[in-house]
Structure 1
Amino acid sequence: MNVIECRALTKRYGRFVAVDALDMRVRAGDIYGFVGKNGAGKSTTMKMIAGLATPSAGTLTLFGAGPYADAAGRGAVDAALSAGSFSDAPSRLGALIEEPGVLMNFSAAENLMMKALALGVIHPKDQVAELLELVGLGEAGPRKVKKFSQGMKQRLGLALALVGSPDVLLLDEPFNGMDPETTRDLRRALVSLNRERGVTILISSHVLDQLMRVCTRFGVIAGGRMVREFTDEELHAACGSSIRVRTTDPARTLALLEERLPRATYRVEPDQAIVIGGGARAAAASFGGSAVDASHSGAPTVEDVSRVLHDADQVVLELSVLERDIEDYFVELMDAGARPGYGGR
């Protein structure tokens, strides 16, 4: 099930198009990394999903019901709204977008309690205490929020987003202003929420290192447009190490390799070189570009390929290892989708 589905979603500010016919699908149970450069349109998209901005065109569906639609789809959405199918959707969303919305002259517990009471949370004191511990503010006590560091405010913003136990969490640049230890704790908390409570999480960020540690799916936005969506498995398959081999008899070489190394994947390039991969996870690459040793992943090694070719008396013209940097891959996608002169929000 797609808990969030955008189709041709568009947001205009006068003549400026901040989000341009964007398609996005966030499935139940995802930790979805929404990746893009500053100004690519990430925050504007998340504001529309959260109901803080009205789309100019396109459709937006939450939990199977759409609060917004363009003229062509308005009738179907009005029918859904009249049936009450969308009535509970906003309360199922928790959001931390841009700056946390906190009251500076109150404590963290008081901020959380006010929201819990406004939402009609059962046993609000218990939930407030639980959330303070979850985000690492259990020892904050009566200190006013205006005396908090930026990282503490971010953690309080996360706790506020979790009041009422939402099914979906929208986080816009949640790691801003956090020190490494706090960032690590927040990552662990997000993974715990996802795995133990089934919370679907949409994280907007341009900090790839943090997203790579938690996300199961990704969407890359550039110039207000969705460039590509892919799973973590697909990302690592695209960026994992591979082996390139050229021989004097490429057809015979390909047949031999497919017979002797059946677990690998094969691609023939225009110059008749054969590129050998290890499948999805077998070719997993760590962030920063160094690929996992193929000998530990089930993928064929250079030695495996060399042995097959030697035993079959193949004349080798080239045998090399190719590695692709994950960060470079994301940058290539963002650059390819960027519009000249674009500066989104």
Structure 2
Amino acid sequence: MASEQIKSTPAARPIIEINNVSKVYPGGVKAVDNANITVGRGEFFALLGPSGCGKTTLLRMLAGFETPTTGEVIIDGHNMATVAPNKRPVNMVFQSYAVFPHMSVEKNVAYGLRMDGRPRSEIKQRTDEALELVKLGGFGKRMPHEMSGGQRQRVALARALIKRPSVLLLDEPLSALDAKLREAMQLELVRLQQTVGITFVIVTHDQTEALSMANRIAVMNQGTVRQIAAPAELYENPKSRFVADFIGRINLIDAKATRSGDRRVTVTSKAIGDAVDLAGDADGDVALAVRPEKIFVSESKPTDPDVIALRGKVGEVAYYGSFSNVFFDVGAGAPLLADIGNVSRDIEEFTFKKGEEYWVYWRKGDTLVLGA
């Protein structure tokens, strides 16, 4: 895509402004519902959500492959309503990489510049620079079939970056890679984004991928943006039951809450028993949410008044090397999951046997009160 045809606006303005954007397909199917998102210049931004949530449709509207039914898409200060995809200051890396199999690596990377009619000397220089940037210097003469999946993905990145776009759009770019390579490429993408300093917008359904790479994340579901925040804020302070359940793993205990003061509630639950005073705004039917790594296990009942303690019976145990997932039946309907670190080489120290009873507890301050 031609990225050098629209001049930049002052840096204070967001590079991307999605204002009240909806996309409705024939038959009334609403893929995106009144989305409002701003992305800062030089930011690594993620659109995260389950399949069918509208994230790819939103990315395609940024690229110009889809047209909003209502609302406006502004990139680098310009309304994109009448701007063709190849005239926008963006480039896109697709899930399948779309590397031309009949072209060498250097011809793949240089393709966009050749289509623009750039001088041969400039094409050679910028192609070499792009390949060095993605750590493929010296691979220019190779054919795509002679390279690994990770290397082909880097070829696609180099081809997108060589046009010097203001924004790079990435549609599930790591989904075809195996787990080890995928993890390595996550670090490479972050390094690359920091090196070139341009805005990256990535679409993914992988929570770990978004949390480890992005500066900010927009969580989407059923076409709507549910929350936009930095990774740590999303994980520690989700604003809804959906976001809490989608980002990482979490325990949810049904309860009822009554407001008892400024940002304080009194909650009651069959599983917990006694009423507990917690921080929160929601009232009525709520879910008490606590992350598995914040749960502790003891043979004796904790006496600390600032913790919530329940008697639980060990159910399933899953061993993962550095930690174990231990599920406890605490009478809350669903079992309570605790992540127990395996810090000793003594196997007996972290072996939980089915049917054993323990006290499981966590700090009140680590409890989220989420509305239904």
Going from structure 1 to structure 2, the CA distance change for 1:139 and 1:39 (only over 3 Å counts) comes to farther
Matched letter for residue 106 of structure 2: A
Give the Cα–Cα distance (whole angstroms) in 1 for the partners of residues 136 and 367 of structure 2.
Answer: 37
1:10 paired with 2:22, answer yes
Give the corresponding residue for 2:55. Answer: 42
Give the corresponding residue for 1:24. Answer: 37
1:128 paired with 2:131, answer no
Give the Cα–Cα distance (whole angstroms) in 1 for the partners of residues 25 and 85 of structure 2.
Answer: 29
Question: Does the Cα contact within 8 Å between 2:92 and 2:170 map onto a contact in 1?
Answer: yes
Matched letter for residue 116 of structure 1: L
| Sequence identity (%) | 25
Find the partner of 1:63 among 73, 76, 82. Answer: 76
Find the partner of 1:290 among 271, 290, 293. Answer: 293
1:5-34 deviations in whole A, cap 9, x for unaligned?
112222233112222222222122221111
Question: Does the Cα contact within 8 Å between 1:63 and 1:89 map onto a contact in 2?
Answer: no
Give the corresponding residue for 1:269. Answer: 265
**How far off is 1:60 after superposition?**
0.8
Give the corresponding residue for 2:300. Answer: none
The two structures have a TM-score, normalised by structure 1, of 0.63
Gaps of 5+ in 2: 1-12, 239-243, 245-249, 251-259, 268-274, 281-290, 297-302, 308-360
Question: Does the Cα contact within 8 Å between 2:131 and 2:158 map onto a contact in 1?
Answer: yes
The structure where helix makes up a greater share of residues is 1
Going from structure 1 to structure 2, the CA distance change for 1:292 and 1:167 (only over 3 Å counts) comes to farther
Give the Cα–Cα distance (whole angstroms) in 1 for the partners of residues 134 and 20 of structure 2.
Answer: 36
Equivalent position SS for 1:195: helix
**How far off is 1:112 after superposition?**
0.8
**How far off is 1:107 after superposition?**
1.2
Give the corresponding residue for 2:185. Answer: 186
Give the Cα–Cα distance (whole angstroms) in 2 for the partners of residues 98 and 323 of structure 1.
Answer: 41
Going from structure 1 to structure 2, the CA distance change for 1:185 and 1:94 (only over 3 Å counts) comes to farther
Question: Does the Cα contact within 8 Å between 2:110 and 2:159 map onto a contact in 1?
Answer: no
Question: Does the Cα contact within 8 Å between 2:105 and 2:144 map onto a contact in 1?
Answer: yes
**How far off is 1:88 after superposition?**
11
How do 1:310-329 residues align onto structure 2 when only pairs under 5 Å count?
A: 320-321=362-363
How do 1:98-177 residues align onto structure 2 when only pairs under 5 Å count?
A: 98-119=95-116, 120=118, 123-138=122-137, 140-177=139-176
Going from structure 1 to structure 2, the CA distance change for 1:184 and 1:56 (only over 3 Å counts) comes to same
Going from structure 1 to structure 2, the CA distance change for 1:130 and 1:324 (only over 3 Å counts) comes to farther
Going from structure 1 to structure 2, the CA distance change for 1:13 and 1:173 (only over 3 Å counts) comes to same
1:181-225 deviations in whole A, cap 9, x for unaligned?
533443233323433432111110011112111111110111122
Give the Cα–Cα distance (whole angstroms) in 2 for the partners of residues 231 and 215 of structure 1.
Answer: 8
Question: Does the Cα contact within 8 Å between 1:95 and 1:171 map onto a contact in 2?
Answer: yes
Give the Cα–Cα distance (whole angstroms) in 1 for the partners of residues 180 and 96 of structure 2.
Answer: 21
Give the Cα–Cα distance (whole angstroms) in 2 for the partners of residues 89 and 105 of structure 1.
Answer: 23
Going from structure 1 to structure 2, the CA distance change for 1:67 and 1:141 (only over 3 Å counts) comes to closer
Higher relative contact order (CA 8 A, sep 6+): 1
Going from structure 1 to structure 2, the CA distance change for 1:127 and 1:181 (only over 3 Å counts) comes to farther
Structural RMSD (CA): 4.0
1:201 paired with 2:200, answer yes
Give the Cα–Cα distance (whole angstroms) in 2 for the partners of residues 66 and 219 of structure 1.
Answer: 22
Question: Does the Cα contact within 8 Å between 2:134 and 2:157 map onto a contact in 1?
Answer: yes
Going from structure 1 to structure 2, the CA distance change for 1:14 and 1:90 (only over 3 Å counts) comes to same
Moved more, 128-137 or 156-165: 128-137
Equivalent position SS for 1:116: helix
1:49-80 deviations in whole A, cap 9, x for unaligned?
01122222221111121112xxxxxxxxxxxx
The structure where strand makes up a greater share of residues is 2
Matched letter for residue 6 of structure 1: I
Gaps of 5+ in 1: 69-80, 242-250, 255-265, 278-287, 294-301, 307-318, 337-345
Give the corresponding residue for 1:216. Answer: 215
